[in-house]
């Protein structure tokens, strides 16, 4: 088989993923950004590499160095700023002794299914996570089954990462088939940003497989700004919604990106129009390199009160913070 034939049989989303942009200079040229501005910030890629899909770049405003989508992915010199409260492991996950599996909450177990992402978000709470120590293969799947079988409190499996939708449909089918053998399980939850930056990843094949399962399927997307709800994403979300998959969204409150009642209100409206329910609005996890994105609790609570006045209650996401060691998310 030739290389061109091999490419042609790969799913479209994988072909598009291979076109990801990893150079600040290339991204700057595509968006017609000043070369001096790109040069000023490019060294921050040593702290966390640049990675972004062409689809997400197309949603950005050319020539705007303060574009809210650009600032989520472009290396920035502020990442060199050290803050005593911002650490490499803000949720105390890296000391976990069971590779690929985190059991932080009573009824749920979380799987670090894939270490990579299609996009590197600068505020990611796992930007320093040692993914090389948490691969998930057949032995880890067997360990997951044993963990669930030994604890009758567990009724839900969360696929996380990295991004779990970097796994192929075939791999996800294998995992789902295994989990379906455990009668105590009720739900399978997938947390992913991939469809936001690569809408073609929401394949009909995977939606149909989830629809056939007796486990309730939930897809939790990660969308921070209304411009991220592109037409392509809305169309794919509709197909998954019609297949019976519950679609939720969680956002991170980010200074200079979505910290206004206008932005957050528009986001909730666009999400609902795309059959995605607003779920959580997270206060930023205090990860090293991201302190410049932080919004104070006082400002966050003020925004939340404004949202309550602006929107019907079902469109207001819960304002929460995750605290290491706590039994659940902590409402503000």
Rg (CA), the chain: 20
User: Under 8 Å CB-to-CB from 260, ≥6 apart: which residues?
Assistant: 303
> CA 155 to CA 214: how far, in whole Å?
13
Tell me if residue 30 falls in helix, strand or coil: helix
Average pLDDT, the chain: 92
pLDDT at 77: 96
Give the tens place of pLDDT for each residue, 140-154: 899 999 999 999 999
pLDDT in tens, 183-237: 999 999 999 999 999 999 999 999 999 999 999 999 999 999 999 999 999 999 9
Q: Which two tokens stand for residue 14?
A: 């994988």
Average pLDDT over residues 255-263: 98
> Torsion-angle region of residue 319: left (phi > 0), alpha (psi -120 to 50) or beta?
beta
pLDDT at position 136 is: 84
**How many other C-beta atoms are found inside a 10 Å radius of the C-beta of residue 77?**
12
Alpha-carbon span 327 to 282, nearest angstrom: 16
The answer to whether the beta carbons of residues 202 and 237 sit under 8 Å apart is: yes
pLDDT for 328: 73
pTM of the model: 0.93
| Position 96 pLDDT exceeds 70 | no
Name the packing angle between helices 231-242 and 204-212 (round to 10°).
30
- What is the 8-class DSSP label of residue 285? P
Specify the pLDDT at position 1: 47
Contacts 24+ apart (CB under 8 A), 4-11: 11/168, 11/169, 11/200, 11/203
Question: Does position 139 have pLDDT exceeding 50, yes or no?
Answer: yes
Whether pLDDT at 312 is above 50: yes
Residue 160, classed as helix, strand or coil, is strand
pLDDT score of 108 more than 90: yes
Tell me the H-state helices in 137-203: 138-149, 169-179, 194-197
Highest-confidence segment of 18-22, 83-87, 320-324:
18-22
Question: How far apart, in Å, are the Cα atoms of 316 and each of 265, 305, 307, 310, 331?
Answer: 8, 10, 7, 9, 13
Give kind and range of the element (H or E) at residue 29.
helix 24-30
Least confidently predicted of 25-39, 126-140, 144-158, 264-278: 126-140
């Amino acid at each position: 088989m030739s290389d061109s034939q091999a490419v042609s049989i790969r799913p479209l989303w994988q072909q598009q993923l291979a076109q990801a942009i990893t150079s600040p200079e290339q991204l700057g040229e595509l968006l017609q950004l000043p070369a001096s501005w790109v040069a000023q910030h490019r060294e921050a890629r040593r702290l966390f590499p640049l990675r972004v899909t062409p689809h997400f770049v197309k949603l950005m405003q050319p020539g705007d160095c303060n574009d809210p989508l650009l600032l989520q992915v472009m290396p920035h010199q502020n990442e060199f700023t050290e803050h005593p409260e911002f650490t490499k492991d803000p949720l105390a996950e890296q000391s976990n002794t069971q590779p690929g599996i985190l059991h932080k909450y009573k009824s749920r177990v979380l799987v670090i299914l894939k270490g990579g992402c299609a996009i590197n978000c600068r505020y990611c709470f796992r930007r320093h996570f040692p993914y090389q120590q948490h691969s998930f293969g057949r032995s880890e799947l067997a360990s997951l089954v044993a963990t669930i079988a030994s604890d009758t409190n567990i009724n839900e499996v969360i696929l996380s990462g990295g991004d779990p939708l970097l796994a192929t449909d075939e791999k996800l089918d294998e995992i789902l088939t295994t989990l379906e053998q455990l009668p105590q399980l009720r739900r399978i939850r997938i947390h992913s940003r991939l469809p936001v930056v690569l809408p073609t990843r929401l394949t009909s094949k995977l939606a149909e497989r989830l629809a056939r399962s007796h486990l309730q399927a939930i897809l939790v997307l990660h969308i921070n700004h209304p411009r991220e709800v592109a037409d392509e994403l809305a169309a794919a979300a509709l197909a998954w919604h019609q297949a019976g998959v519950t679609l939720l969204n969680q956002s991170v409150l980010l200074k200079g990106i979505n910290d206004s009642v206008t932005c957050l209100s528009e986001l909730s409206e666009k999400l609902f129009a795309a059959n995605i329910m607003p779920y959580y609005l997270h206060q930023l996890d205090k990860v090293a390199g991201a302190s410049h994105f932080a919004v104070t609790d006082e400002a966050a609570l003020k925004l939340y009160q404004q949202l309550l006045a602006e929107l019907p209650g079902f469109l207001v996401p819960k304002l929460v913070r995750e605290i290491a060691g706590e039994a659940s998310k902590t409402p503000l």
